[in-house]
Amino acid sequence: MNIHHPHALRRRAVGAYVVTAALMGVLVVGFFRIQVLLGEEHRLRAASNRVRTLPEPAPRGTIYDRNGLIVAENVPGYQVTILPAPVDTVRATLERMAEHMHLSDERIERVIRTLRAYGREVVVDSDADFEGVAAIEERRADFPGVYIEMRPRRRYTLGGAAGHLTGYVGEITGDELESEAFPDSIYEAGMIVGKIGIERQYEALLQGRQGIRHIEFDARGRIVGDFRGAEARSPVAGQDLYLNLDLELQRWIHDIFPDSMSGAVVALDPADGGVLAL
């Protein structure tokens, strides 16, 4: 058979056209599937890789004494958060952070355990000092996935004079998250809650409703800024609390009570039995 015969050449050309058309058809179908049918899924996946939803804590309610003087309030502070990443990457980042801020080996392991358990961002330090924050910000390229922002922290005007009354706040623990006192509809890992004293007794009142914000990152994990493509939710501040306590009387009793003696002082309002000092 002569392969150069016109009919043979025509058959070969038709076969080539058919194969080419079939391949083009497969490519068109594949492109259609990726661009149209799966386009939204890929867009969402790409967005999830560069946008993180982070909680924005609500300021706790202010605690006042009977005369309207502040017993406990919120002042500006810094919170350092690390975003999910492979464990080795997170560990290396935390070890570099430990060179610039107080971060013990125990704390590093606790952060990694929390990251493994919940698979979300973890608060490394809820009350970081300015020097450590400044050092990390100066070396931002060395700390991808580390997010620093101003957060309210608690300040007690009476200090040790009323610490046994006011108590203190701290990061919620795993055991607390599992208890009925901290419903998962409100509380989640990383939140600051009352631990003892008035802060704990009136936790439900003082604790507000945290908001959410969307942060955009580049391919290297560096923060670009707020992502405007999704709606944020502003936090709702906790309610203020007014006590029967007389701040000046409490301070005066603390100042005059000798450190060398043990005992207690209780001052009551004879009109209504309210505790003025304890």
- Residue extents of the structural domains in the chain: 6-37, 49-243, 248-277
Instruction: Give the rounded distance of the alpha carbon of 26 from its chain centre.
Output: 47
pLDDT at 121 over 70: yes
Pairing between β-strand 267-268 and β-strand 146-156 as defined by DSSP bridges: unpaired
pTM for the whole thing? 0.68
Q: Tens digit of pLDDT for each residue in 65-78?
A: 999 999 999 988 88
pLDDT at position 33 is: 65
- Paired sense of beta strands 211-217 and 63-64, if any: unpaired
- Asked if the 49-243 domain carries CATH number 3.10.20.30, the reply is no
The pLDDT-based confidence of 42 (bands split at 50, 70, 90) is very low
| pLDDT bracket for residue 223 (50, 70, 90) | low
d(CA 62, CA 151): 15
pLDDT bin (cut points 50, 70, 90) of residue 238 is very high
* Bridge partner residues of 153 (DSSP): 75
26-33: average pLDDT: 68
Angle at 53 between CA 108 and CA 43, to 5 degrees: 120
Tokens of 93: 């980042």
Task: Tell me the residue ranges of DSSP E strands in 146-259.
Answer: 146-156, 168-171, 192-196, 211-217, 223-226, 241-242
